[in-house]
Amino acid sequence: MVTQDDHVSRSLRIKQREPLNAEPDVAELVEFPITPEGLIYIRNH
């Protein structure tokens, strides 16, 4: 069975499961001048 967690990079911290909201650690973001695909925020309303 596929869940929402299957679509979330392990680099993201899930802040809320319903609706799905996840974000990367700030320390990981500052390592790159352009946000890598696996560190993009997930925001659902």
Q: Give the model's confidence band at 2: pLDDT under 50 very low, under 70 low, under 90 confident, else very high.
A: very low
Range of the domain at 17: 4-43
Q: How many domains does the chain have?
A: 1
Which neighbouring-strand residues pair with 8? none
Tokens (6 digits) for 15: 């802040």
Number of Cβ atoms within 10 Å of the Cβ of 22: 21
8 Å CB contact between 13 and 24: yes
At 4-38, the pLDDT tens digits run 556 677 889 999 988 989 999 999 889 999 988 88
